[in-house]
Amino acid sequence: MPSTDRRGLRVACMIGCLVLALGLPDAGFAQYDPSNPIGGGYSGSHEHDTSGPTSADPPTQRVQTASGGNYEYVVVGPQGESEAVRRAIQEAGGTVLRSTTLGALGDVTIVSTFANRAAYERALELIAQYAPDSSLAPQHLYGFAADRSPRLYAPNLIGDAAPGRCRLSAQVTIGMIDGPVNPAHPALQGANVTYETLVPGTLVPSADHGTAVAALLVGEDETGALAGFARGARLYAISVFSERNEREGASVERVAEAIDRLVAQGVKLINLSLAGPENAALARAVSAAAARGAVMIAASGNDRRPHVAWPAAAPEVIAVTAVDAARRRFFLANTGAELEFAAPGVDIYAARERGAGYMSGTSFAAPIVTALAARQMAHGARSTEAIRQALRRGAESLGPGQRNTDFGWGLVRANGC
């Protein structure tokens, strides 16, 4: 339901932004146990956050559950293989719950459950045999790549002359896949924002995260405090997050659908300030979008692990970490060989659902890099590789060597508007 009617959008967000399992009102979130890929007996929340994770700890994996308590699994693959996938799931003893056509990507998502491990493993075998370009994976839930923590240092750090002084020289549309956004926020009222949600319902998480990311991209504020780094760009924001048991989550199914919608609208630049585990089905959607010319930039995640989160770790995606005003890496930021660039993301003054405040996390570094990519697009850069090369040429090296696992190629620099 794309629209630029801000009053209607605000009402829509207040009364019905997000229920993650569309058509499954009793579905929930559960911590995924890879040794028991079926789930079952879901009652309430099975989530347990680890306190003080170390590199030896397994990452917390949350997976959406169906009303019967079993984990949901999602296949993303070519539309021409959809019937073969359905037959494989059913032949293995699984149950197909629903499917969604991703028209712009030429793909389809098929969601199912399995009664036991043998059925799940048999489905993997059959899909590999009869639908080789389709991928079956858990319906992982991705979290905001953000952490909360306290100055207006970011513009100076990346080389802008002053906060909010850069306006794009040509029209660029930025896609944003995130949580709810408040388009009525003063920093967004003067911006060109189209906002929709893919998950109607009443379990709506706070709009702080999505509003912050949106304003960092295209915010309009003459004081500069809440001005975006790509002022003048058009923003197409899609919310994919719901909240249950005080935890936000975005399923592979919804993220893939959001990517598809943006690609269908011709959006060539997408910001993904969300993070989660590696997922073959999500990889398929990302790859399909990249093949259609989409440039994707994502947050590396805040799990304090030596592994970049997905989708940032996908080879087609530009992975971003966060640094503070002293160019020190955010202490919770994930590290890894896939990291490409660092940007301000610690104690960033940003818009909230109402008002503003200081926020920290790789979520808030990613839109700054996306905004600089938009500036490059306004000057004619079109491909992911062209954006990568432009950002590399201007980056300030941080840490040892030309590129390292803490900062990638280094701190992005604007080098003009």
Q: Poorest-confidence range of 68-82, 196-210, 214-228?
A: 196-210
**E strand residue ranges, 20-94:** 28-31, 62-65, 73-78
Other Cβ atoms closer than 10 A to 7: 9
Percentage of the chain beyond pLDDT 70 is 84
pLDDT in tens, 88-138: 999 999 999 999 999 999 999 999 999 999 999 999 999 999 999 999 999
Percentage of the chain beyond pLDDT 90 is 74
Q: What is the pLDDT of residue 32?
A: 57
Helix (H/G/I), strand (E/B), else coil: 259: helix
What is the C-alpha separation between 262 and 116, in angstroms, rounded? 36
pLDDT in tens, 242-290: 887 667 889 999 999 999 999 999 999 999 999 999 999 999 999 999 9
Q: What is the mean pLDDT of residues 147-172?
A: 83
**E strand residue ranges, 73-206:** 73-78, 95-102, 107-113, 135-138, 140-144, 173-178, 192-197
pLDDT at 3 over 60: no
pLDDT category of residue 60 using cuts at 50, 70 and 90: low
Q: What is the pLDDT of residue 83?
A: 97
Rg (CA), the chain: 20
Q: Is pLDDT larger for residue 59 or for residue 73?
A: 73
Q: What is the mean pLDDT of residues 52-69?
A: 63
Q: Domains plus CATH for the chain?
A: 8-141 (3.30.70.330), 143-394 (3.40.50.200)
Q: What is the pLDDT of residue 14?
A: 30
pLDDT at 1 over 90: no
Q: What is the pLDDT of residue 31?
A: 58
pLDDT in tens, 300-323: 999 999 999 999 999 999 999 999
Burial class (CB in 10 A: 0-12, 13-18, 19+), 171: exposed
Q: Is pLDDT larger for residue 55 or for residue 36?
A: 36
Nearest residue to 289 via CA among 243, 257, 321: 257
Q: What is the pLDDT of residue 245?
A: 60
pLDDT at 19 over 90: no
Q: What is the pLDDT of residue 6?
A: 35
Measured in degrees and rounded to the nearest 5, phi and psi for residue 274 equal -145, 160
Q: What is the mean pLDDT of residues 47-67?
A: 53
User: Which range in 7-16, 21-30, 35-44 is most confidently predicted, on average pLDDT?
Assistant: 35-44
Q: Is pLDDT larger for residue 49 or for residue 180?
A: 180
Are the C-beta atoms of 315 and 384 separated by less than 8 Å?
Answer: no
pLDDT at 24 over 50: no
Q: Is pLDDT larger for residue 163 or for residue 371?
A: 371
**Predicted model pTM:** 0.81
pLDDT at 358 over 60: yes
pLDDT at 362 over 60: yes
Contacts of 155 (CB under 8 A, 6+ apart): 161, 162, 163, 164, 165, 224, 229
- What single-letter DSSP state applies at residue 76? E
- What rounded mean pLDDT belongs to the chain? 86
pLDDT in tens, 327-338: 999 999 999 999
Sign of the CA dihedral with 331 first, then 334, 337, and 342 last: negative
Q: What is the pLDDT of residue 202?
A: 67
Q: Poorest-confidence range of 28-37, 168-177, 246-255, 350-359?
A: 28-37
Q: What is the mean pLDDT of residues 220-241?
A: 95
Q: What is the mean pLDDT of residues 42-52?
A: 27
